[in-house]
Structures are given as C-alpha cells and as structure tokens.
C-alpha cells in the first residue's frame, strides 16, 4: 500500500500537464500513488496521462469523457485513493522535489493533521512568493475572512478527508469550505517553506468566474463565523464580507462599520495570534477604501485597531501611496502594484 496518494485533477491542461506530473514523479519521497483524473478534456491531456502511466506504475489514469467539475473529480479520486496521507496537486503547477518529504515530516512531528505550504506564483504577471500565516491560531482568525491555505499545496491525514469531503454546491471555493469545516476537529497549518510553483494563466477557472467564486466565498465566510460560535447581524455580515471583497469601499460609513465589527470580533478570541490576524484585516479594509483618499488615511491611523498592528503598521507607507492616488481596488494599476506587494 502506498503511504501517500497524490490527487491531480485536470481539464484541458495539456500545455502544462507533463511538467506537473513529472514534478510529482521526481519527488524525493518515492512511496506514492499518483491519481491523475482527466475531467472531460478536449485537448490531448488524456494521451499525456496514459503515456505517463505506461512509464510509471505509480500513476493511476482516471477520468470520464464528460466534464463534471473538480468536486466530482476529487471525490472520485478520494474513493480510489489507498494512502494513509492524501496530497493535492493541480495539472498546471510544479512541485519542488522535497515537497512531500517535508510535509510528511511536518505532519508526523505532530504539527498539524492538514498542512499547506508557502508557494511562488509565476506565469502571467510578475512572479512573487506568497507567505501566508502558518500557525493554527493564526489560521483560525484568517479563515474567518479568506482562504489562506493554497489548495494544490496541501497534504493531510486520510481521516481529514474521511470526515469532510468536498461539497458540490461550494464549487470554485470547495477548498475553503473544506478547511473551514475541518477547523472544528483538526489542526491546520502552513509549512513556512516554498514547496510549490503556482502557475497563473488566463484559462484558470477562478480567474474566469470570479464573480461566482466571490458569491460562494461570501457564504462560506458567514458559515466560518457560525462554526466558531459567532452570530452576526445582517449588517455585521455585510461588513464582514466587505473586508476582503474584490472591490473598493467607497463609503466612509462602511469603513466605520467595518472598524466597529472588527473591534467586536476581537473580543471573541483570547489567543494573541488570532487577535493580531483579525486586527490586520483593518489594513485590508483600508486598502479597499483608498478612493476615499486622506479621509481613509486619518480613520485608519486613528483607530484602536492600528495600535494593535505593531510591526505590521510598516504598511502605513503603502496605504499613504494608495490614499494619495485614490486608487480603485479593481484598477489595472492596483493589480500591478499588488504584484509588487503594495496592498493586501
């Protein structure tokens, strides 16, 4: 029996699939089965999978002629997987050679039952390294607002997936939904090491269907609150979703509402790491309120939340630039600055 089952769903990924599969085959940890599922591709993805399976007995070729979506593909692979550990990978990304070795050691040392890793974005746009928060208490706060574990980086004990499968009605944010539910019973963490290269390209489903993804994400954010025993009013739910919404905050009243909500939310948690992550959302909200110019800047700096940021207040210069420019969150200029790390 293999120790680790690696799940690779793909749909029309022929341009990158061979490189992705080869990066898994080249792992320093060799005790793997590699399930590659072709989800109704119309390119030559299936031929690439068959050729790879003929070369490496660890590869299990799977798939269906019709495209049924990633949730169906993942749950089908989970029913087939035999490993004690389940790892994820996408058909357009690249694993670094020591990825599974490092993650397995991290989990077996008792650090978590599910762990992601830091990653490097490449492809479209300027390359950057993404270092999301790592500890369980940090993630408990961060997951209230946004998914902060990169799905194709994860490895988990099998029992995590036996307890919590993927849900079809959360498609496009099925990973965020899974992690929010898993937090109730398992420890989640990010291993603070870059172990995956995450490819950005225009064909990605999350880029092509951002509006639909945000709708599902909004629902999960509210469920994340309830899962941690927090009942928010309708107005507080709106404030909660505005913090990480993909558009600008154009009303000073909304910024004040967010401030009040974050201060209230802080009182629900005791661990300093959780509190720090919640306070940091004030910076995220201020970024989105850049069109309000120096009014935003004065409200941001004058808030008790700013005093809780500590070293994170080093982002004040970034916010001053955004305030001076009154930069819209959805603008192309903002997207370029974000790739350089100027924003949140």
- pLDDT band (50, 70, 90) for residue 89: very high
Q: Higher pLDDT residue, 239 or 209? A: 239
Mean pLDDT of 305-327: 81
Residue 342 has pLDDT above 60, yes or no: no
Pick one of 2.40.128.110, 3.50.50.60, 3.90.550.10, 3.40.50.620 as the CATH number of 4-207: 3.90.550.10
φ/ψ (deg, to 5) at 328: -70, 135
Nearest to 154 by CA among 60, 86, 224: 86
What is the average per-residue pLDDT within 303-322? 80
How confident is the model at residue 343, as a pLDDT?
45
pLDDT confidence band for 78 (50 / 70 / 90) = very high
What would the pLDDT profile of 178-219 be if each residue is shown by its tens digit?
999 999 999 999 999 999 999 998 776 655 578 899 999 999
Question: Which residue, chain included where needed, has tokens 């019973």?
Answer: 185
What average pLDDT does the segment 154-175 reach?
96
- What three-state secondary structure class fits 245? coil
Confidence of residue 314 (pLDDT cuts 50, 70, 90): low
Residues 108, 186: contact at Cβ < 8 Å? no
* Mean per-residue pLDDT over the chain, rounded: 93
pLDDT at residue 208, as a whole number: 59
pLDDT bracket for residue 333 (50, 70, 90) = confident
- For the chain, the helix, strand and coil percentages under 3-state DSSP, each to the nearest 5: 50, 15, 35
Q: What is the model's pLDDT at position 168?
A: 94
Mind listing the pLDDT tens digit for each residue in 28-62?
Answer: 999 999 999 999 999 999 999 999 999 999 999 99
Three-class SS state of 91: coil
Residues in the chain: 344
pLDDT for the residue numbered 75: 97
Burial class for 1, CB neighbours closer than 10 Å (0-12, 13-18, 19+) = exposed
Pair 119, 130: CB distance under 8 Å: yes
Calpha distance 80→75 (Å, rounded): 9
Q: Where are the domains of the chain?
A: 4-207, 232-339
Task: Give the pLDDT of residue 344.
Answer: 46
Alpha-carbon Rg for the chain, nearest whole angstrom, is 21
pLDDT at position 327 over 70: yes
pLDDT band at 322, cuts 50/70/90?
Answer: confident
59-79 mean pLDDT: 96
Q: Which two tokens stand for residue 242?
A: 């505005």
The yes-or-no verdict on residue 325 having pLDDT over 60 is yes
For position 335, what pLDDT does the model report?
A: 75
Does pLDDT of 133 surpass 50? yes
Taking alpha carbons only, the member of 244, 208, 204 closest to residue 224 is 244
What pLDDT band is residue 338 in, cutting at 50, 70 and 90? low
Spell out a b/e string for 189-213, using b for 16 or more CB atoms within 10 Å of the CB, else e: bbbebbbbbbbbeeeeeeeeeeeeb
Whole-number Å distance between alpha carbons of 269 and 137: 10
Query: Rounded CA gap, 52 and 61, in Å?
Result: 9
| pTM, rounded to two decimals | 0.93
Q: Is 129 exposed, middle or buried (0-12, 13-18, 19+ CB in 10 A)?
A: exposed
Arithmetic mean of pLDDT, 174-179 = 98
């Amino acid at each position: 029996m293999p120790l680790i089952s690696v799940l690779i769903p793909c749909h029309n990924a022929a341009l990158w699939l061979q490189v992705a599969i080869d990066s898994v085959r080249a792992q320093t940890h060799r005790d793997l089965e590699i399930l590659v599922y072709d989800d109704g591709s119309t390119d030559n993805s299936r031929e690439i999978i068959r050729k790879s399976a003929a070369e490496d007995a660890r590869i299990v070729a799977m798939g269906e002629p019709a495209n049924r979506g990633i949730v169906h593909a993942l749950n089908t692979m989970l029913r087939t997987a035999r490993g004690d550990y389940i790892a994820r990978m996408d058909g357009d990304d690249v694993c670094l050679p020591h990825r599974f070795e490092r993650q397995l050691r991290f989990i077996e040392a008792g650090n978590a039952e599910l762990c992601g890793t830091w990653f490097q974005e490449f492809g479209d746009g300027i390359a950057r390294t993404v270092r999301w928060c790592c500890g369980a208490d940090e993630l408990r706060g961060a997951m209230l607002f946004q998914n902060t574990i990169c799905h194709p980086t994860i490895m988990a004990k099998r029992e995590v997936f036996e307890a919590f499968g993927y849900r079809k009605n959360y498609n496009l944010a099925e990973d965020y939904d899974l992690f929010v539910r898993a937090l109730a019973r398992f420890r989640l963490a990010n291993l603070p090491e870059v172990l995956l290269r995450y490819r950005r390209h225009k064909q990605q489903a999350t880029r092509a269907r951002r509006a639909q993804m945000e709708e599902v994400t909004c629902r999960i954010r509210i469920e994340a609150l309830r899962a941690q025993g927090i009942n928010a009013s309708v107005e507080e739910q709106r404030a909660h979703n505005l913090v990480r919404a993909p558009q600008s905050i154009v009303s000073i009243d909304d910024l004040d509402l967010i401030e009040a909500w974050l201060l209230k939310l802080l009182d629900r948690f005791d661990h300093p790491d959780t509190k720090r992550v919640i306070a940091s959302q004030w910076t995220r909200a201020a970024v989105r309120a850049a069109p309000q110019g120096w009014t935003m800047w004065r409200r941001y700096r004058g808030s008790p939340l700013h005093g809780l940021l500590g070293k994170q207040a080093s982002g004040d210069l970034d916010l001053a630039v955004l305030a001076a420019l009154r930069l819209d969150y959805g603008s192309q200029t903002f997207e370029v600055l974000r790739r350089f790390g100027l924003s949140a």
